[in-house]
Structure 1
Amino acid sequence: MHTAAFLYPWDIVGDPDAAGRIADLGVQQVTLASAYHSTRALTPRHPDRRIVTARHAAVLYPPDAMRWAGRTLRPYTQDWVPGADPFGTALRALTEAGLEVHTWVVLAHNSRLGGEHPSAVVRNVYGDAYPWALCIARGEVREYLVDLAAEAAVRPGARGTELESCGWYGMAHLHAHDKIGGAPLSGAGQYLMSLCFCSVCSDGYTALGIPAAEVRAGVRRALEPLWREGPGAGSRPVAAAPGERAAERDRIEALLGGDLAGVVRTWRDRAARSLQRAAVRAVREAATGEFRVLLHADPAAHRCGANAGVDPADVLAHADGVVVPCTGDDAARADVLGPFADRPAGATVAANLTVVAGMGGSPGTLAADAAHAGSLGANALRLYHGGLAGDGDLAAVRHALRTTAQGLGN
């Protein structure tokens, strides 16, 4: 089972031992961030630092000045990792250590661009802006994301890419000092609060047969019990639904009604599929030779976030595969991997397992979790995250990849 670890360039740059340490885990590949969102990250083994603060979304390589000249939406560069091209520096070190490198590109999640260009972001049913979430239905946003995908994915020396947040982003985002837990939202509630009512999306609903004002009123009506009665009003699943994602889908339809739910779903699915196809096509046109293009994805089209909702058959008709979140219990893994079981020959379905115990992962059960994912159809592993994990976590990963009888590493 082909295995890769996620890394940031700052995990490697300035640490001469880092690339060899990652190779020693037994992975064959590193998925290395080339365009990433704002974050504060631990570097527990770096000889010179322990914390990196990426203040805003940025590319970690020199962007093409000609490509972005005169553009309103354009990527920002960074100044928190030494050098003009920390991605390239890290890639060379990893390649010299015998590792294959693929790019890790974050798209619709961008707090800086959203804050500077409020017309370009998702606006919920109450008119509140989500500055971290670019609205993918807008032409200027789509143009920016497709061009960013091509540039950030196809870096010299990279053998493939993984596109994160290549679809709708919504409410569920760990914003600075979040204080939104007073009314915990179910999956259906998260979806309703993630629906966009910017001018483009409003026109889209109207064009599909229901005036935007009517859509807005219906969504507000569906949300009202949550604010008045507490989380129970919006969190009861449909008992007959088989699986968490199906239960959410049925609950959304019950809350909105079939016609309204259908219009919203059609508009959002069209925008997401269009972006996904365009981004994959742009990457392929920019690449030479064999270059794998994977999407971080969730098999429920209504899901928003880093693992953007997709239609399994549709996404695997144009991408080389998907990376799906598999941290959790056996039922959760079955829920996310099952819809990808009927995949084309050669398609990658990578199970993404968190191996940082302090972030909810279970590195000690990696062998068993990976074996279970494999029994459900996964044919690759992604380990989150090789740079954030402590020494004990990495020791557990190394042991699992070296000793598992089914050969999780080589």
Structure 2
Amino acid sequence: MKTAAFLYPWDVAGDPDAAARIADLGVQQVTLASAYHSTRALTPRHPEHRIVTAAHASVLYPASGARWAGRALRPYAAGSWAPSADPFAEAAAALTGAGLDVHTWVVLAHNSRMGAEHPGTSVVNAYGDRYPWAPCIAQPATRDYLTDLAAEAATRPGALGTELESLGWYGLAHLHAHDKIAGVRLEEAGHYLMSLCFCPACADGYRQLGLDAEELSVAVRRALEPVWSTGASGTSGDSGTSGAPGTGWPAIEKLLGADLAAATLTWRTRTARTLQERVVAAVRAAAAPGFQILLHADPVAHHCGANAGVDPGHILAVADGVVVPCTGDPALLTPFAAHRRPGTVLAANLTVVSGMGGSPATLADDAARAAGLGASELRLYHAGLASDADLGLVRAALA
């Protein structure tokens, strides 16, 4: 199977040995970040540093002045963590020179700085709390911004394809600095209710479905009240006692009621699908023929986050394929495999950093399991973050 490794430009720029080291792993492609969120990243082999702190979401190339002139929402330039004026181009040239294909890695609806500077763009929960890391994808200006960002960041010179992350709803789940939200086990159902947005654009959307946004927010708060009392979202809305873990759509229906739950999902699914269609079309229009477009995706439509919840049949009719989180369990591939077409890419994303929960020692077996469930390619997260020992295991597995 074709195998690609994820990298940041700063893993390669300034390290003359990096590109050859990655090629020596036995991968054929690098998925290289061109637009990324804030992060603190280890660089265990770089000759000039060990930690890179990207203070805010940014593009890792010079954004087009003409495209973004006069617009309130525009991509942020990288700060001092960028090793050059165009670190993506520098890293891509080195990787291509080592015989590797380069595809872009574009993070879209995940931007804490935009939420801080333009708070009206953020998801607003049923309590009125804003999630600055999560732009609301229903808002017209945000949709325009994400569409143009994708078209620009995906089609960097030399890239043969792109992988679009966070192209959908982002919600409560977010590893924040000094995170302190684990005191109540929200589980899947609680996370869904805490991720519903009540900004003006979403309120209008609910009204289109015959719902009053204020009444809906009251219903959400009422449904969550037992969660705060018992400490778990597997709760009964009438008794207030803790029950089974709140997983799956039935648990959401139990908390909110089947009709209200269905209406919220209708709004969110419609909003995400139309944005995904629009973004993929914009990237295709900006790219050369044959440019590959994949989405980081989860086959459960109500899930949100970096791997956007999608309808498998719909998304595989729009994009060229998906990248699916498979570390520990490749079962999420199965719903996508049922809708594959000739040429569809089903890439199994496997974490190979042992310190981040990955298992590079079992990579060969994990890849075989994924292939058995329909995977046509592999993605390895993340060659820049892994130790030498982890990379040695990857090299042996791919050999």
Q: TM-score, normalised by structure 1?
A: 0.94
Compute the displacement of 1:34 (Å): 0.1
Q: Which residue of the partner structure matches residue 279 of structure 1? A: 279
Q: Deviations over 1:122-176 (max 9, x none)?
A: 0001000000000000000000000000000000000000000000000000011
1:21 aligned partner: 21
Q: Write out per-residue CA displacement over residues 72-118 of structure 1, whole angstroms, 9 at most, x where no aligned residue.
A: 00001112122210000000000000000000000000000011001
1:236 CA drift (Å):
4.8
- For residues 2-401 of structure 1, the aligned pairs below 5 Å read 2-79=2-79, 80-231=81-232, 233-234=234-235, 236-237=243-244, 247-328=247-328, 332-334=329-331, 336-342=332-338, 343-401=340-398
Bigger shift: residues 226-235 or 376-385 = 226-235
Percent identity for Structure 1 against Structure 2: 68
Unaligned runs of 5+ in 1: 239-243, 403-410
Cα RMSD, aligned residues only: 1.2
CA drift of 1:233 comes to: 4.0
Determine helix, strand or coil for the equivalent of 2:56.
coil
> Is the contact made by 1:237 and 1:248 (CA closer than 8 Å) also made in structure 2?
no
Output one character per residue of 1:348-380: Cα deviation in whole Å (capped at 9) or x when no partner. Answer: 110000000000000000000110011011111
Residue 232 of structure 1, CA deviation: 5.8
Runs of 4+ in 1 over 3 A off after TM superposition: 232-238
| Per-residue CA distance 1:165-203 (angstroms, 9 max, x = gap) | 000000000011111111021011111111001111012
Cα distance per residue 1:305-360 (max 9 Å; x no partner): 000100000000010000010011xxx321x1110112111111100000000000
Change (3 A) 1:258 1:145: same
Q: Which amino acid aligns with 1:171?
A: L
Inter-CA distance 237–309: structure 2 relative to 1 (3 Å threshold): farther
Distance 1:82 1:21 in 2: 19
- Could you tell me whether the CA contact under 8 Å between 1:225 and 1:233 is conserved in 2? no
Task: Tell me the secondary structure at the aligned position of residue 31 of structure 2.
Answer: strand
Match of 1:406 in 2: none
Q: CA-to-partner distance for each residue in 1:39-93, whole Å, 9 max, x for gaps? A: 0000000001000000000000000000000000000111212221000000000
Question: What is the SS of the residue equivalent to 2:194?
Answer: helix
Q: Deviations over 1:275-307 (max 9, x none)?
A: 111110000000012100000000001111000
| Alpha-carbon distance, 1:237 to partner | 4.9
Segments of 5+ residues of structure 2 without an aligned counterpart are 236-241
Equivalent residues of 1:135, 1:168 under 8 A apart? yes
Alpha-carbon distance in 1 for matches of 2:289, 2:210:
45
Q: Which amino acid in structure 1 is aligned with residue 352 of structure 2?
A: V
- Most deviating of 385-394 and 204-213: 204-213
Q: Which amino acid aligns with 2:389?
A: G
Q: Please give the secondary structure, in 1, of the residue aligned with 2:228.
A: helix
Aligned length: 391
Q: In structure 1, the residue corresponding to 2:318 is in which secondary structure? A: coil
**What secondary structure is seen at the aligned counterpart in 1 of 2:48?**
coil
